[in-house]
Structure 1
Amino acid sequence: MVHGGCHGAWQWEHLQTWFAERGWDSIAIDWLSHGDSARLEHGEWLCRDITAVQHEIEIACTAAAELGQGAPIVMGHSMGGLATLAYAASTARELAGIVLLTPVVPEKFGGAAIELEVDADAPWGPPPPEVARQLFYSGVDEATAAACYERLQPESPAAVWQATRWTAEVDISAVRAPALVVAAEADLLVPADYVLSLADGLGAEQILLPGVGHGVTLDPGWPQLAERIETWLSKA
């Protein structure tokens, strides 16, 4: 499970528990310089884009393979969705499937830039609490929003630029794993039509969540989403 920008492994707590209760083993990673993972040198971190997170995904997949659980499924949200896609397009490892939740899309599937101000020489965000709520977890109550905000962290400006200007280049024709792609109708960061266009390009099964914002792993409707993901996984 690969988190999104400004987040950490904590954003998977609901889904990780839900899947564990149904017999699924999982690893929720922290990117480098996030959560409990090792810190990069500051200048290196400022220049680190989303697709570099393939490094952490490979570490997690190697750990999963050592447990003898078979080919892994990689699930990514937002920036983590783009990292997952890039990994699936480049790895020689067999993957049982990929699940992309409101993913940042490659250049081919993006559109108009999201005009967030980004300074290449300084960490980005987190934005003010109410802005963060609208961007990252618009469906939650005030108490939950406050608790989530306390766990957000600044993000690499290179990653934010890549996510808002759609500059990533990924050869999706190289993706061999079956894919499920989830779009959110009220997503302010990655418009649903961009996500569904990516799904079409992948030949993926797709889900459009009506009235839901970008933060689908934290939105109150996450149990229903988990059920739909598990239904797909049982067929993948």
Structure 2
Amino acid sequence: MRENRKRWLGFGLGTLLGYVLAQQGWALWQLAIKDTARTLRTQLNRAPKGITFLEKAESAAYTRTHTVEDGIERIVYRPRERRFETPILMQHGMWHGAWCWELWQILFAEWGWETHAHSLPGHAGSLTQRPIARCTLDYYLGFLKAEAERLPRPPVLMGHSMGGALTQWYLKYIGDDLPAAVLVAPWVSHSMIRDGLWQLVTYDPVGVLLMLISWDATPMKRQARGSAVRFLVGPQAAVPLEELQPKLGPESVIVMYQHNPPFWRPPERVETPMLWIAGEDDPLLIEETERRSAAHYQADYIVAKGARHNVMMEHNYRETAQGIHDWLVEQDVR
């Protein structure tokens, strides 16, 4: 009996290991055949045309328009007293959507900036257009490109986390001629595996295993004591974890593989003025690696004191936003 149990246990573990290895092979093959230039030439948005949701709100300082059009959710804040003609385009990161920028969108509207936040396909209010497991950075980049092209002039591009990676990809593959780029606790410049994998494995080993089995990054935001989701905000955050966590959605795993050599290498030189912001207490994208990445791009660098990963929701979100505003003014963005 005991020998049979050992045999079946060995068979089960072997099958699981084989499945995980096959998944890794599939992922690497998918990335090896990717051609970012070809992806960007493709019409990616295949959602039904038309507006399916429209909501407007007003305050003394701004108007807010929330739409879902052609399958893409957008939240736009327009100041009543506009001081700057250049819009700010905000790109969210993994699991998030356009909603994550709310606190900053309000502040920037009060300071005279027009801001545009959108949700990638399969995130928040945007329609799912391909299985999450097949969503790659070049696929997401095509939608970011489309959002930039909707605007009347080149925007300030602001990206958080994976959105910061997409900002780097935008500058390399689409155009290094923006008024400015602001990277908020972004993925590192060179390799997420080298500078983030060990922190992730030690922070949430169960989540990593579940992620590899399911081929979905959703387990990383599960409700559990050791869940990696706790890296997003600290105990004093303006948006507490219990309010944030239910809003988080599914996410691809393959995107984290793609932001590594040989599939990704950062440009050696960037002409667009760049501001890099790191969370001082970010447990996964630690400040030391963020500082090194900022130095590669010769970016100006700010550390959000005592902040974890979601800098725009932390206790000092206003001070960090003020720093961005002041920096943009110094860059003569108008």
What TM-score range do you get, normalising by the shorter chain?
0.7 to 0.9
2:279 corresponds in structure 1 to 184
Gaps of 5+ in 1: none
**Pairing 1:124–2:201 present:** no
Which structure: greater strand fraction?
A: 2
**Pairing 1:214–2:309 present:** yes
**Pairing 1:228–2:323 present:** yes
1:92 corresponds in structure 2 to 175
Post-superposition offset of 1:106? 3.5
**2:250 counterpart (154, 161, 170):** 154
1:46–1:120 contact (8 Å) kept in structure 2 = no
1:89–1:170 contact (8 Å) kept in structure 2 = no
Provide the rounded CA distance (Å) in 2 between the counterparts of 1:143 and 1:64: 30
Deviates further, 111-120 or 165-174: 165-174
TM-score (norm 2): 0.63
**2:298 counterpart (178, 198, 203):** 203
**Pairing 1:25–2:114 present:** yes
**Pairing 1:169–2:264 present:** yes
Provide the rounded CA distance (Å) in 1 between the counterparts of 2:317 and 2:231: 17
Give the structure, 1 or 2, with the largest relative contact order (CA under 8 Å, sep 6 or more). 1
Q: 1:12-161 counterparts in 2 under 5 A?
A: 12-42=101-131, 45-65=132-152, 70-92=153-175, 94-108=177-191, 110-111=194-195, 113=197, 114-115=200-201, 116-117=208-209, 118-119=211-212, 121-125=214-218, 126-128=221-223, 131=227, 133-140=229-236, 144-161=240-257
Provide the rounded CA distance (Å) in 2 between the counterparts of 1:181 and 1:149: 26
Post-superposition offset of 1:206? 0.2
| One-letter code aligned to 2:296 | G
Provide the rounded CA distance (Å) in 2 between the counterparts of 1:3 and 1:71: 18
Provide the rounded CA distance (Å) in 1 between the counterparts of 2:261 and 2:242: 30
1:71–1:95 contact (8 Å) kept in structure 2 = yes
| One-letter code aligned to 1:90 | Y
Percentage identity across paired residues of the two chains: 24
1:2–1:57 contact (8 Å) kept in structure 2 = yes
Partner of 1:172, secondary structure, is coil
Post-superposition offset of 1:141? 5.7
TM-score (norm 1): 0.86
Provide the rounded CA distance (Å) in 1 between the counterparts of 2:196 and 2:151: 38
Equivalenced residue count is 229
